[in-house]
């Protein structure tokens, strides 16, 4: 993707020592917009790799017998698929990608709090990803799943497992550096006069996410170091044969990896809260409840981890506590869900690609949320534990939830990033294929799980074949859906209709500058936006004197009243 910035934007700062043009995207740039795009493009490349791995899994599962891949390779493929998709696609893109691009705009800053740390955080990712993929060619890839539970991770080949640990440690470090940067930027770099409760919702989502990153990721890092001792030095922390305790690993692992689900989905909540008001021309409903819901999810997210371990000999009191705590998460999540519905209610909805993906997110996510509440109940969880029901639930959250929002966000912010519009018919085709493909792929897996098909297997009972084939057809549709998207983003970068500064007539600060934005975001003073969601409000009801983007307010209000 080549994006040219106007070079005459920073005459007062002297000649830049950083490379210009597309080479910037391969450099150690400290510009938050460049870093954001680096995260996005790098993440998308890993998404293609992870998608190819998913394709291999779904091809193997077309038939009940193990015929497409050797069994060991199948285990390697499913491990790499999970690790790549979580640590190299969703977490970096939805946090580092959009976070770096948008957060400085939203707080009215010219860059992140620690630009060099920011670049370091990004440049840890490509080596870590290549290291992980290279394990397949060096020795053998890790085979113990993305959870790397001991004793399985102690008995599978050590080289691949150690490379996996190294890679995840690097990615965890990157994530922590990013989280520190977001917390400092949001809390310390706000433009004077901008209050916390006036920030766009994505800032709150990223603040909550970063708190989770800072509190939980280090625990995973420490745990993986202990696991590597078990593998290399033959200590017995998690090895029952040496007097260790494998369940302690599970506790420590899920202390990170349950919050990791929120690290993946909270930023998506934030992004969708930015997109819906713009295309529905209404203020975000329930701003304050939204903020408290996010912080409630952050708190609850830290105390629910053992609901992944109901079959790990968990004592009854622990089951009770974690069931109740997990069920409570449905409350703040439900508040957000109804806030989004209320935002859409009575709006002048533009059903463009960004809106279609956002609405699909709401549908998919509420379905994944309902199965999530079901899974929190011990009797039900024991029935479907380690079955395809869990696979379906998880993918409804991370794909139906987060990935749909990533696409919605790309359709929404592409004009800002490149200065050109995406092709709308291609975007809707992409949406249709993704939505149908996704639901065809994962909805039947609920049935498979309820009927007892275990996950992570290459062979299964022949009675499940037909449903698995439906699922694989859905996966094929999802793979095909990537084509119109890729064609769209590449072609539109050259031939797209010029977008202008603010094609959506949006009010958040990133739209109050040129497209693409200049190096330090605004040529003049950063705008002070007190009402980022003031759509459809009569001009007299808002204080225009506080708003630097007042011309845009008038423009937006004027054309609203015309219809």
Closer to another protein by Cβ: residue 246 or 392: 246
> What phi and psi values does residue 302 have, to the nearest 5 degrees?
-85, -10
* Direct distance between the N- and C-terminal alpha carbons of the chain, in angstroms, rounded to an integer: 37
Q: Mark the segment that binds another protein (CB under 8 A) among 245-253, 323-331, 375-383, 486-494.
A: 245-253
Asked whether the beta carbons of 108 and 171 are under 8 A apart, the reply is no
Q: Which residues of 341-358 are buried (b: 16+ CB within 10 A; e: fewer)?
A: eebbeebeeeebbbbbbb
308 binds another protein (CB under 8 A): no
Q: What is the DSSP string of 197-218?
A: GGS-HHHHHHHHHHHHHHHHHH
Q: Does 212 bind another protein (CB under 8 A)?
A: no
Residue 222 or 558: which CB sits closer to another protein?
222
Closest CB 194 distance from another protein, rounded Å? 8
Which of these segments, 16-24, 105-113, 364-372, 473-481, binds another protein (CB under 8 A)? 105-113
Q: What residues between 331 and 370 interact with another protein by CB under 8 A?
A: none
Q: Binders of another protein: how many residues, by CB under 8 A?
A: 51
Query: Under the criterion CB under 8 A, does residue 195 sit at the interface with another protein?
Result: yes
CA distances, 429 to each of 362, 472, 488 (Å): 19, 20, 11
Q: Are 174 and 124 in contact (CB under 8 A)?
A: yes
Reported as type and span, the H/E element at residue 348 is none
Does the protein bind another protein through residue 248 (CB under 8 A)?
A: yes
Q: Give the residue with the Cβ less far from another protein, 218 or 503.
A: 218
Q: Of 63-71, 215-223, 266-274, 417-425, which segment contacts another protein by CB under 8 A?
A: 215-223
One residue of 11, 15, 26, 233 binding another protein per CB under 8 A = 233
Spatial distance between the Cα atoms of 29 and 20, rounded to a whole number of angstroms: 10
Establish if 525 lies at the interface with another protein (CB under 8 A): yes
**Per CB under 8 A, which of residues 106..125 are in contact with another protein?**
108-110, 113-114, 117
The residue among 459 and 520 lying less far from another protein, judged by its C-beta, is: 520
How big is the CA angle at 11 (ends 6 and 12), to the nearest 5 degrees?
Answer: 145
Closest CB 548 distance from another protein, rounded Å: 10
Nearest-CA neighbor of 201 among 146, 296, 269?
A: 269
Q: Residue 358 and residue 345: Cα distance in Å, rounded?
A: 14
In angstroms, the Cα distances linking 550 to 278, 520, 539, 546 are 17, 21, 10, 8
**Given 9, 66, 134, 235, the residue binding another protein (CB under 8 A):** 235
User: Could you say whether residue 34 binds another protein (CB under 8 A)?
Assistant: no
Should residue 45 be labelled a site residue for another protein when binding is judged by CB under 8 A? no
Residue partners of 505: CB distance under 8 A and separation at least 6: 278, 552, 555, 556, 559
- How far apart are the C-alpha atoms of 251 and 233, rounded to whole Å? 22
Give the residue with the Cβ less far from another protein, 113 or 171. Answer: 113
Q: What is the closest distance, in whole angstroms, from the C-beta atom of residue 187 to another protein in the complex?
A: 8
Kindly indicate which of the ranges 85-93, 225-233, 334-342, 378-386 contains the residues binding another protein, using the contact rule CB under 8 A. 225-233
Distance CA 474, CA 507 (A): 38
Q: E-strand spans in 221-296?
A: none
Q: State which of residues 120, 214, 349, 373 lies at the interface with another protein (CB under 8 A).
A: 214
3-class secondary-structure state, position 445: helix
- Alpha carbon of residue 74 to chain centroid: 26
Taking the complex as a whole, how short is the minimal distance between the CB of residue 5 and another protein, in angstroms?
17
Residue closer to another protein (CB basis): 83 or 181? 181
How far apart CA 44 and CA 456 sit, in angstroms, is 25
Using CB under 8 A as the binding rule, whether residue 244 contacts another protein is answered as yes
The residue behind tokens 């790098």 is: 42
Output the smallest distance, CB 226 to another protein, in A: 6
Residue 189 sits in the site that holds another protein (CB under 8 A):
yes
Chain residues binding another protein by CB under 8 A are 13, 108-110, 113-114, 117, 176, 179-181, 183-184, 187-195, 214-219, 221-223, 225-226, 229, 233-237, 242-245, 248, 251-252, 255, 520, 525-526, 528
């Amino acid at each position: 993707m080549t994006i040219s910035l106007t070079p005459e934007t920073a005459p007062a700062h002297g000649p830049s020592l950083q490379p210009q043009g597309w080479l910037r995207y391969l450099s150690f740039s400290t510009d938050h917009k460049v870093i954001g795009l680096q995260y996005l493009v790098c993440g998308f490349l890993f998404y293609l790799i992870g998608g190819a791995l998913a394709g291999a899994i779904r091809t193997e599962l077309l038939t009940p017998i193990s015929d497409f891949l050797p069994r060991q390779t199948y285990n390697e493929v499913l491990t790499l698929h999970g690790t790549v998709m979580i640590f190299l696609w969703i977490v970096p893109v939805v946090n580092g990608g959009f976070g770096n691009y948008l957060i400085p705009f939203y707080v009215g800053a010219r860059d992140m709090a620690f630009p060099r740390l920011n670049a370091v955080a990004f440049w840890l990712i490509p080596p870590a990803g290549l290291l992980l993929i290279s394990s397949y060619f060096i020795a053998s890839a890790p085979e113990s799943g993305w959870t790397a539970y001991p004793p399985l991770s102690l008995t599978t080949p050590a080289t691949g497992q150690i490379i996996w640990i190294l890679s995840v440690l690097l990615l965890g470090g990157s994530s922590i550096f990013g989280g520190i940067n977001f917390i400092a930027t949001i809390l310390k770099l706000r433009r004077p006069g901008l209050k916390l409760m006036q920030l766009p919702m994505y800032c709150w989502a990223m603040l909550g996410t970063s708190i989770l990153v800072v509190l939980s990721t280090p625990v995973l890092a420490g745990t993986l170091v202990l696991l590597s001792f078990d593998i290399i030095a033959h200590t017995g922390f998690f090895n029952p044969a040496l007097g260790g305790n494998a369940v302690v690993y599970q506790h420590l692992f899920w202390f990170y990896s349950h919050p990791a689900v929120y690290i993946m989905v909270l930023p998506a909540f934030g992004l969708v809260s930015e997109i819906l008001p713009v295309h529905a021309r209404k203020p975000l409903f329930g701003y304050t409840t939204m903020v408290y819901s996010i912080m409630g999810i952050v708190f609850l997210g830290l105390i629910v981890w053992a609901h992944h371990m109901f079959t790990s000999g968990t004592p009854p009191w622990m089951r009770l506590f974690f069931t109740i705590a997990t069920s409570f998460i449905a409350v703040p999540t439900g508040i957000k869900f109804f806030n989004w519905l209320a935002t859409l209610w009575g709006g002048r909805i533009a059903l463009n690609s960004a809106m279609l993906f956002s609405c699909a997110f709401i549908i998919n996510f509420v379905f994944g949320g309902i199965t999530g509440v079901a899974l929190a109940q011990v009797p039900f969880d024991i029935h479907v534990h380690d079955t395809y029901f869990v696979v379906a639930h998880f993918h409804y959250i991370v794909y139906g939830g987060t990935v749909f929002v990533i696409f919605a966000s790309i359709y929404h912010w592409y004009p800002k990033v490149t200065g050109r519009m995406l092709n709308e018919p291609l975007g809707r085709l992409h949406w249709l294929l993704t939505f149908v493909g996704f639901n065809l792929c994962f909805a039947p897996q609920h049935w498979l799980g309820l009927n007892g098909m275990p996950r992570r297997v290459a062979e299964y009972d022949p009675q499940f074949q037909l449903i698995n084939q439906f699922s694989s057809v859905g996966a094929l549709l999802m793979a095909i859906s990537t084509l119109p998207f890729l064609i769209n983003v590449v072609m539109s970068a050259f031939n797209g209709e010029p977008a202008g500064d603010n094609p959506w007539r949006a009010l958040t600060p990133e739209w109050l500058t040129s497209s693409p934005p200049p190096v330090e975001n605004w040529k003049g003073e950063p705008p002070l936006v007190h009402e980022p969601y003031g759509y459809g409000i009569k001009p007299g009801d808002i204080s225009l004197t506080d708003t630097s983007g007042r011309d845009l307010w008038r423009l937006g209000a004027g054309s609203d009243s015309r219809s």
